[in-house]
Amino acid sequence: MGPATVDFLASLRVLLSVADRAGTLPGGTTGGAAGGATGGGAGGSSAARAGFAPGEVPQDFERISALVELAQRGDAEAFGVLYERYVDTVYRYVYVRVGSRQLAEDITSETFLRALRRMDSFTWQGRDIAAWFITIARNLITDNAKSARFRFEVSTADMLDADPRVEAAPEGEVLDRLRDERLLAAVKNLKPEQAECVVLRFLQGLTLAETAKVLGKSEGAVKQLQLRAVRALHRELADVDL
């Protein structure tokens, strides 16, 4: 199982456990590094435009914002560094949507080609440029798909990197795998908007603001969407010890 899937499943299990104990979902919960708010540094005007309060600027934000500014001035090397930083993030999202490695690679490549051509139009409207890249990818998927509705196309086996040796694994590992299969299957059974919200928040690690930008919704609407998704997962997995 890849590290991104491990983090995704772990985040969902923690969130479901919280929902089980409290009956509510903390609105500020995030599932990845993009949602974190640590580190210092002045951050400059880019940090302010991105919505960071003093003392909340992530450690690599100044570096990313500097690379963005250089790329906007036509620095190909700076854009190449941004590509290396975010290509896996975009590919994961696209692959989950389309379920084909070749198509996911093609759409990911086209995403960054479009981003390169449009760098001068980028403005800080979220805390990470990842949301902008994913928005471009999402539009490309819509152009290539029969339906604009979100579909969790990747198979459970692919997400878990299925290994035939699992049959010989210790009982605990087999039980963990079965639990993860149930959780991924439950995500696939969510309503399209709920599934996309869960993927953006906990597989991609986007903040509420970034998810709202990608989905074209308000932060309040995303909170409610996430809450409904977690409640639906909790109902479906009531018999699973997470």
pLDDT confidence tier of residue 219, bands split at 50, 70 and 90: very high
Better-predicted residue by pLDDT, 169 or 150? 150
Stretch 50-66: mean pLDDT, rounded? 67
For residues 93 and 77, give the distance between their C-alpha atoms in angstroms, rounded to a whole number.
Answer: 25
Which residues neighbour 171 within 8 Å (Cβ) at sequence distance 6 or greater? none
Radius of gyration of the chain (CA): 18
Which residues neighbour 91 within 8 Å (Cβ) at sequence distance 6 or greater? 104, 105, 108
- Mean pLDDT lowest among 84-93, 146-155, 162-171: 162-171
For 36-148, give the CATH class. mainly alpha
Residue-wise DSSP of 38-50: ------HHHHHHT
- Mean pLDDT lowest among 100-109, 122-131, 170-179: 170-179
What does the pLDDT read at residue 234?
A: 85
Token pair recorded at residue 81: 């560094």
For residues 74 and 117, give the distance between their C-alpha atoms in angstroms, rounded to a whole number.
Answer: 10
Structure confidence by residue, pLDDT tens digits, 149-164: 666 665 655 655 544 4
Token pair recorded at residue 226: 């996430």
Helix, strand or coil, per DSSP, at residue 37 = coil
Which residues neighbour 180 within 8 Å (Cβ) at sequence distance 6 or greater? 1, 9, 160
pLDDT confidence tier of residue 144, bands split at 50, 70 and 90: confident
Q: State the average pLDDT for the chain.
A: 74
Better-predicted residue by pLDDT, 234 or 21? 234
Token pair recorded at residue 185: 């299957």
What does the pLDDT read at residue 113?
A: 94
Q: State the alpha helices, DSSP H only, in 73-218.
A: 76-98, 101-117, 130-144, 156-159, 171-188, 192-198, 208-215
What does the pLDDT read at residue 221?
A: 95
Token pair recorded at residue 166: 């699992």
Which residues neighbour 146 within 8 Å (Cβ) at sequence distance 6 or greater? none
Domain ranges in the chain are: 36-148
What does the pLDDT read at residue 158?
A: 61
Helix axes 130-144, 101-117, angle to 10 degrees: 120
In this prediction the pTM is: 0.63
For residues 62 and 57, give the distance between their C-alpha atoms in angstroms, rounded to a whole number.
Answer: 8
